[in-house]
Structure 1
Amino acid sequence: MGRVGEDMTMYFSTRDFAPSRRVNEWREAVFSHCGEFQLEFDRPDSEANLQLRRIGSLACARLSQSLRRVYRTDTQAMRSQSDDGFVLLQLSGTAQLTQFDRRTSLLPGDVTLIDAGAPFEINLFERNSQICVHVPKDSLSDAAGGWQGRFGGKLPASTSYLLHSLVGSAFGPADCFSQEQGNILVTAFLALLANGWQDSAATKEAPVEAESESAQKVKTFIMAHLGDEMLNPRTIASAIGVSERRLHRIFSTKGESVSHWIRQCRLERCANEFRNPSYRERSITEIAYAWGFNDSAHFSRLFRKEFGVPPREYRRAALTH
């Protein structure tokens, strides 16, 4: 995430190296093409992929990796002398961003803004895929004023959906659009950012969606224990150190319930693995049980209600496209 080279396209995978070399090769690839960061690995032989593309003048990096933590120290931030922002699009997996004492949970579909010239930290709770768009702060200023207050927050869901669709188009065929079309997409990209910031629903109390520290703490705990079938309001409240009443109040302020939020996250994790060819050999029941479900028939009903088709049909369609 961050500085990307001048090449229009590039693809890098640690699969091309022996397991013992993967950590060093990945670190070198990230430093060379994205900038200087501290990387804490989940395992020494982790597989990771990096793909670089451009949308007009904007450099984009798509990363898929199994790390525990990515962060930029004060020294690294000063050394980078960066005058840019990172627009981070969460594709899969879950993470938590901390910058300027602001914590934000990132779920698939979310979009956030990071100040590249300041320290930040991203904790990853499972394998993550993200796209980072490198945007000069001058361009942010031209698009909308007051963007400095948006660092570390999330854009509204409707804006995030459109940004995912637009930026995702850059990772189709390398020659899928011309430079002129790319410039048009840059204009649309910046306009969507400005529109999201100015959305009255998102700016009533803060420029972007922000969650209380208590909500962040609860959701971080839930995402780290999502595969535990014993995860429920009572065990969560006990682990976090709040009453069950307080726990339910945290979610009710956003019109949610604890159990519903857990169920939705579990279903999304299952759907992610159904779409991933790496999990082709695992049965639907194995994947469902790994994410905390304990009744295959009940899981199938919930999945069909959420996605409109049975798990088997969803998986078959996803893997044949």
Structure 2
Amino acid sequence: MESFSTAGLPAARRSEAWNKLYSSHLNHVDFIPADRSHFNAELSMSRLGPIGLARMAADSSSIERTRHHITVGSPRLYTFVLQTRGEGELSHCGHEARLEAGDFTLCDSSAPHFFRVNDNSEVLMLRVPAETLRVYVPSPEVFCGQLLKGNVGLTGTAAAMIRSLASQAELGIPSPYDQRVARNLLEVMATSYALAFDDQIQGSSVVRGRQACIVRHIEANLRDPGLSPASIAAALRISPRYLRLVFATGNETVSGYILRRRLEECARQIQEPGWTGHTLTEVAFSWGFNSSSHFARSFRDRFGVPPRQYRRSGLTH
């Protein structure tokens, strides 16, 4: 087991050092503490056969992985995130999962994500290679960013099992048994997701996979002002008609999805402490808008208040 802590690091460079440590041992990200001068975090890592286990406790922080952090061709990992203490919020693949103790979500290392944790938060992460997870969950991308509540089906059993196994793995599980234990754990996780998302599992796996591929492309290129149904179809080598048909199973058009997600990201960012020095227009343009009036009008339609009022309400809480 490897363990790391901010204890003993000078306060002035603690945030930078932790960002480098997290990026080198887990994923390349921007790890931004809410209070850089009073920030503490701990990370421990161990293994269970093919599964990497990581336990992280941290003060209030945001963790952002953008397309610039993702290297094409790098090994793809799926991470089950279990909130064991406190609260967290993951924005990923078009979904927002607000996590309380006992809840799960799933994260894909090949797609951008934004994860916020509050003070006194702790999470357990199960990092599984894509080819290993697909043996148990054929289309894991369908579930990325979705919330799996701790009181649904076998989720509570899975959470208790992971807590226990993480503690055992930190002490060391004999190698003849770790592969078997890993298989049993992945079976329990697969069953938990199957019970919770039975309605989404029904239907063609090809269509579900294509939907997830489209969403992943949109999320990776959301900041590009040239993103459009035509550019998506061209990039994915499908016809615009097929793109509309695949997306038609939901309640949004492709253009409607793009606008909604840009507005959601702008709403999140204008309330982030790190962006208080940036104008609303800068935030809007950073997420692909090219007209401040269109952004302001669309934002008010979506959230019921102008973006400036929305920012003030967030900064006063």
Please indicate the TM-score interval, normalised by the length of the shorter structure.
0.5 to 0.7
Match of 2:17 among 6, 18, 25: 25
1:253-302 deviations in whole A, cap 9, x for unaligned? xxxxxxxxxxxxxxxxxxxxxxxxxxxxxxxxxxxxxxxxxxxxxxxxxx
Alignment-mate amino acid for residue 22 of structure 1: R
How far apart in 1 are the matches of 2:67 and 2:167?
A: 32
Alignment-mate amino acid for residue 174 of structure 2: S
Partners of 1:39 and 1:67 within 8 A in 2: no
Name the counterpart of 1:120.
113
Name the counterpart of 1:180.
176
**Shift in Å, 1:76:** 0.9
**Shift in Å, 1:192:** 1.1
How far apart in 2 are the matches of 1:57 and 1:82?
A: 13
**Shift in Å, 1:66:** 1.6
Change in 2 beyond 3 A, CA 1:80/1:20 = farther
Alignment-mate amino acid for residue 88 of structure 1: V
Partners of 1:166 and 1:185 within 8 A in 2: no
1:160 aligns with 2:160: no
**Shift in Å, 1:144:** 2.5
How far apart in 2 are the matches of 1:80 and 1:72?
A: 16
Match of 1:110 among 78, 103, 106: 103
**Shift in Å, 1:176:** 4.5
1:40-92 deviations in whole A, cap 9, x for unaligned? 11112301101011112211111111243111001112357241111111111
How far apart in 2 are the matches of 1:189 and 1:172?
A: 13
1:202 aligns with 2:197: yes
1:53 aligns with 2:46: yes
Change in 2 beyond 3 A, CA 1:147/1:11 = same
Structure 2 portions without partners, runs of 5+: 203-259, 272-302, 306-317
How far apart in 2 are the matches of 1:194 and 1:69?
A: 28
1:191-270 matches, within 5 Å, as 191-199=187-195, 202-204=197-199
How far apart in 2 are the matches of 1:120 and 1:166?
A: 26
Alignment-mate amino acid for residue 17 of structure 1: L
Alignment-mate amino acid for residue 26 of structure 2: C
Corresponding residue SS for 1:16: coil
Match of 1:43 among 31, 35, 38: 35
Name the counterpart of 2:186.
190
Name the counterpart of 1:14.
6
How far apart in 2 are the matches of 1:16 and 1:202?
A: 45
Query: TM (normalized to structure 1)?
Result: 0.58
Partners of 1:73 and 1:120 within 8 A in 2: yes
Corresponding residue SS for 2:124: strand
How far apart in 2 are the matches of 1:127 and 1:70?
A: 16
How far apart in 2 are the matches of 1:70 and 1:175?
A: 28
How far apart in 2 are the matches of 1:101 and 1:133?
A: 22
Kindly report the root-mean-square deviation, in angstroms, between the aligned alpha carbons of the 2 structures: 2.8
How far apart in 2 are the matches of 1:172 and 1:164?
A: 14
Number of residue equivalences: 206
1:28-107 matches, within 5 Å, as 28-44=20-36, 45-78=38-71, 81-107=74-100
**Shift in Å, 1:166:** 2.4
Change in 2 beyond 3 A, CA 1:119/1:174 = closer
Corresponding residue SS for 1:195: helix
How far apart in 1 are the matches of 2:106 and 2:32?
A: 22
Partners of 1:80 and 1:117 within 8 A in 2: no
Change in 2 beyond 3 A, CA 1:95/1:80 = farther
Alignment-mate amino acid for residue 167 of structure 1: I
Query: TM (normalized to structure 2)?
Result: 0.58
**Shift in Å, 1:173:** 7.1
**Shift in Å, 1:149:** 0.6
1:205-256 deviations in whole A, cap 9, x for unaligned? 578xxxxx9xxx9xxx9xx9xxxxxxxxxxxxxxx869xxxxxxxxxxxxxx
Structure 1 portions without partners, runs of 5+: 1-8, 208-212, 225-239, 243-321
**Shift in Å, 1:101:** 1.4
Name the counterpart of 1:292.
none
Alignment-mate amino acid for residue 154 of structure 2: T
